[in-house]
Chains A and B, each alone.
Chain A
Amino acid sequence: MRNRLIGAALAAVRGLAVLPGAASAAGDGPQPPEREWSFNGIFGTFDRAALQRGYQVYREVCAACHSMRLLYYRNLMQIGLSEAAAKVEAANAFIVDGPDSEGEMFERPGKLSDRFVSPFPNDNAAKAANGGALPPDLSLMAKNQAGGPDYIAAVLTGYADPPEGMEMSDTQSYNMYYSGHRIAMPPPLSDDLVEYADGTPATVDQMAVDVSHFLMFAAEPQLEDRHRLGVKVIIFLLVLTGILYALKRKVWSAVH
């Protein structure tokens, strides 16, 4: 009897919970295909090799137009770079600092405590350089798009010729997964666009998956902590709840 009641309560909670999920999934265009990600699931972790490849794609391709302002160079140590290697990455960037004692702004090499340098000084400059379209900041891309990394990988690999009768302007490309199908970003990837340090063949699909993996990290660098602690907490709560149930039965055994 009790179990059925608990079951009903659970079902009620689930029933309420399903609503907004179903709502946010609504959109036009085909659903992005679901891919296997190592960070999915309750034990999910990032694949360090994929993160480093993805970072390489971001730096060599995406970073020409897209900022990633919530990441610091120190975060690169979390994707498996040594402190020295992360420092080199930081030092390759030029940071505008100042004003100095003469009141002038100056450039200096980046440090681990600096944020990723943005390709444009402000949004208007970014728009002006990109035909009026603002390349979005990528820090939270994997969280602020329905479908997350699946969606990013789908868009990066979803370029095709427009269907018959669909007029595209010069600044637009046809994309199967982009809402409205007209995307201002020209196809960013082509085979062997980057040369992976670990020798992985740089196909469009491989690069799209790797950079999506990295963008998931960028959106939630503490994901692995969350999963690790979560497993412990759930096990702890299950045991505690079991004991409380036994105690409850014991205490109530004399009533009725």
Chain B
Amino acid sequence: MAAPKFDNPIVRWIDYRLPVFTFMHHEMHEYPTPKNLNYWWNFGSLAGFMLIVLIVTGIVLAMNYTPHVDHAFDSVERIRRDVPFGWLVQFIHMNGASFFFIVVYIHIFRGIYYGSYKSPREILWILGVVIMLLMMATAFMGYVLPWGQMSFWGATVITNLFSAIPLVGEHIVSWLWGGFAVDNPTLNRFYSLHYLLPFVIVGVVVLHVVALHTHGSNNPLGIELRGKQDSIPFHPYYTVKDFFGLGLFLTIFCLFVFFAPDYLGHPDNYVPANPLVTPPHIVPEWYFLPFYAILRAIPDKLLGVVAMFAAIAVLFILPWLDRSPVRSARFRPIYKQVFWLLVIDCLVLGYIGAKPAEGWYIHIGRLATVYYFAHFLVILPLLSVFERPRPLPLSIGEPVLGGGGPSPPGGGSAGAMERA
């Protein structure tokens, strides 16, 4: 990279010794970004922002939190009631976890729609799935810390999943607990790990961004950049667009924090943990509901756990299940439809996960589970062979091949993403 000329002598002095400014210039000004990215590309930077918000508020919360079964619940209430702005920090952290998942799930579905996991971005995608797994572990352990009824029973149910492992299951569970039930040792180790894992996530995010900047962003057309006319510098174009998106996002986020802070939570977590009384409906936080539904869809304990983890594991091999050379769903008429079916399927799984496992809910849950795996393991490989993609444009600057008119026939059926 050619070092840019800096006017400020202090900047020059530092940059000669530690080229941080050259690095920033390279990543912000020279880094070529496709000029046609739509608003669905905002969610990556939003996720990064939420990660920082959660780490900062978490560090501040830790200053007043007491990880002990006798004091944890009261210390959280003390933060809400007596610590200056403690209620604000706590509500931001609590709702921030939910919004982090909202942002990341949209980010993931964007990647699926536009084929962002395809060559040469497979490792970028896999690192993203690793981040999601780490987020889930962190969120799960964080939810235990307030030591309410849902904290306790959620921890009990999820750790008991490991008892499904043949032969050593019971030992593993007892090892996870550090005792014979979820108790003080469990709370302490969860606290320790809840503090640690976010920094591991930061590390993987750095790798994720390095991988991203190696080949640059995918784009809504899913085609390679053909030259300078197809790209624009990240700054100021995408910085200002990201900031605008951030403002909009923060407005929605703050509506929840200030006016509906408990909407995404569960009332039972305002009851202190009681190991002798199980609440009538144990439900995980909403962002785990689809996976919870898959777990319950299978009548066998071990297989249910396997299926739940397989639902995430299948994402790791997604780049090799979908062999179609065309990335963007815009040019894959059938894939576009099954994409939306997958979205609906995940929403259905989420709905089922929130319902008691009885009656029709079980059947719908099983159907949705089967479809989830069929999408990845059957439909995608078949589509790679049988689907006939639409002609790709030659470049971003010239989006349509000659002859076809300004938009493909049947444009009326295009979804919101398509028009963006």
Closest 7 CB pairs of A and B: A230-B258, A23-B354, A241-B247, A144-B270, A8-B416, A20-B286, A244-B244
- Determine whether the beta carbon of A222 is less than 8 Å from that of B81: yes
- Determine whether the beta carbon of A1 is less than 8 Å from that of B268: no
Question: Which residues of chain A have C-beta atoms less than 8 A from B271's C-beta?
Answer: 136, 140, 144
- Determine whether the beta carbon of B416 is less than 8 Å from that of A5: yes
A226 at the interface (CB under 8 A from B): yes
- Determine whether the beta carbon of B270 is less than 8 Å from that of A19: no
Bits for B254-280, please: 1 = Cβ < 8 Å to A, else 0.
111111011110111111000000001
- Determine whether the beta carbon of B106 is less than 8 Å from that of A70: no
B320 at the interface (CB under 8 A from A): no
- Determine whether the beta carbon of A140 is less than 8 Å from that of B270: yes
B232 at the interface (CB under 8 A from A): yes
A187 at the interface (CB under 8 A from B): no
B240 at the interface (CB under 8 A from A): yes
Question: When the two chains form the complex, which single residue of B237, B254, B350 contacts A233, counting CB atoms closer than 8 Å?
Answer: B254
Binds B, one of A10-18, A99-107, A152-160: A10-18
- Which residues of A are in contact with B by a Cβ distance under 8 Å? 1-2, 4-10, 12-13, 15-17, 19-24, 26, 42, 70, 136, 139-140, 143-146, 148, 179, 219-222, 225-227, 229-231, 233-234, 237-238, 240-241, 244-245, 247-248, 251-252, 255
Bound CA–CA A217/B236 (angstroms): 48
With A1-B420, A244-B240 known as contacts, the answer to whether A237 contacts B263 (CB < 8 A) is no
- Determine whether the beta carbon of A9 is less than 8 Å from that of B267: no
Question: When the two chains form the complex, which single residue of B77, B289, B416 contacts A19, counting CB atoms closer than 8 Å?
Answer: B289
Question: Which residues of chain B have C-beta atoms less than 8 A from A219's C-beta?
Answer: 270
Question: Which residues of chain A have C-beta atoms less than 8 A from B270's C-beta?
Answer: 140, 143-144, 219
- Determine whether the beta carbon of A24 is less than 8 Å from that of B232: no
Bound CA–CA A123/B244 (angstroms): 53
Bound CA–CA A140/B105 (angstroms): 33
Question: Which residues of chain B have C-beta atoms less than 8 A from A15's C-beta?
Answer: 347
- Determine whether the beta carbon of B416 is less than 8 Å from that of A70: no
A-B contact pairs, 10 of them (CB 8 A): A8-B417, A19-B354, A26-B355, A70-B74, A136-B271, A220-B80, A229-B258, A230-B258, A234-B255, A245-B247
Number of A-B contacts (CB under 8 A): 142
With A16-B102, A221-B81, A247-B240 known as contacts, the answer to whether A5 contacts B39 (CB < 8 A) is yes
Question: When the two chains form the complex, which single residue of B77, B244, B252, B259 contacts A245, counting CB atoms closer than 8 Å?
Answer: B244
Question: Which residues of chain A have C-beta atoms less than 8 A from B258's C-beta?
Answer: 42, 226-227, 229-231, 233-234
- Determine whether the beta carbon of A17 is less than 8 Å from that of B354: no
Given A15-B347, A17-B263, 6 more A-B residue pairs with CB atoms under 8 Å apart are A17-B102, A20-B264, A20-B354, A140-B271, A143-B262, A237-B251
Q: Which residue of B lies closest to A145 (CB)?
A: B267
B63 at the interface (CB under 8 A from A): no
What's the nearest-Cβ distance from chain A to residue B75, in Å? 12
With A13-B252, A16-B286 known as contacts, the answer to whether A229 contacts B88 (CB < 8 A) is yes
Q: Which residue of A lies closest to B239 (CB)?
A: A251
Chain B binding surface SS class: helix
- Determine whether the beta carbon of B39 is less than 8 Å from that of A24: no
Question: Which residues of chain A have C-beta atoms less than 8 A from B262's C-beta?
Answer: 143
Bound CA–CA A133/B327 (angstroms): 63
Bound CA–CA A94/B234 (angstroms): 67
What's the nearest-Cβ distance from chain A to residue B419, in Å? 6
Question: When the two chains form the complex, which single residue of A20, A241, A252 contacts B248, counting CB atoms closer than 8 Å?
Answer: A241
Interface residues of B in 353-393 (CB under 8 A from A): 354-355
- Determine whether the beta carbon of A5 is less than 8 Å from that of B243: no
Question: Which residues of chain B have C-beta atoms less than 8 A from A237's C-beta?
Answer: 247, 250-251, 254
Bound CA–CA A230/B260 (angstroms): 11
Bits for B276-303, please: 1 = Cβ < 8 Å to A, else 0.
0000110101100100000000000000
Question: When the two chains form the complex, which single residue of A22, A24, A247 contacts B266, counting CB atoms closer than 8 Å?
Answer: A24
With A234-B251, A234-B254 known as contacts, the answer to whether A255 contacts B267 (CB < 8 A) is no
Question: Which residues of chain B have C-beta atoms less than 8 A from A144's C-beta?
Answer: 267-271
Interface residues of B in 49-103 (CB under 8 A from A): 74, 77, 80-81, 87-88, 91, 102
Bound CA–CA A145/B280 (angstroms): 13
What's the nearest-Cβ distance from chain B to residue A250, in Å? 9
B192 at the interface (CB under 8 A from A): no
B351 at the interface (CB under 8 A from A): yes
- Determine whether the beta carbon of A1 is less than 8 Å from that of B77: no
Question: Which residues of chain A have C-beta atoms less than 8 A from B254's C-beta?
Answer: 230, 233-234, 237
Question: Which residues of chain B have C-beta atoms less than 8 A from A140's C-beta?
Answer: 77, 270-271
Bits for B159-184, please: 1 = Cβ < 8 Å to A, else 0.
00000000000000000000000000
Bound CA–CA A75/B370 (angstroms): 55
What's the nearest-Cβ distance from chain B to residue A30, in Å? 17
What's the nearest-Cβ distance from chain A to residue B37, in Å? 11
- Determine whether the beta carbon of A227 is less than 8 Å from that of B81: no
Question: Which residues of chain B have C-beta atoms less than 8 A from A26's C-beta?
Answer: 281, 355
Question: Which residues of chain A have C-beta atoms less than 8 A from B420's C-beta?
Answer: 1-2, 5
Interface centre among B91, B232, B252, B280 (most CB of A within 10 A): B252
B189 at the interface (CB under 8 A from A): no
Bound CA–CA A231/B258 (angstroms): 8
Question: When the two chains form the complex, which single residue of A5, A7, A222 contacts B38, counting CB atoms closer than 8 Å?
Answer: A5
Question: When the two chains form the complex, which single residue of A179, A229, A241, A251 contacts B251, counting CB atoms closer than 8 Å?
Answer: A241
Bound CA–CA A225/B261 (angstroms): 13
Bound CA–CA A215/B271 (angstroms): 15
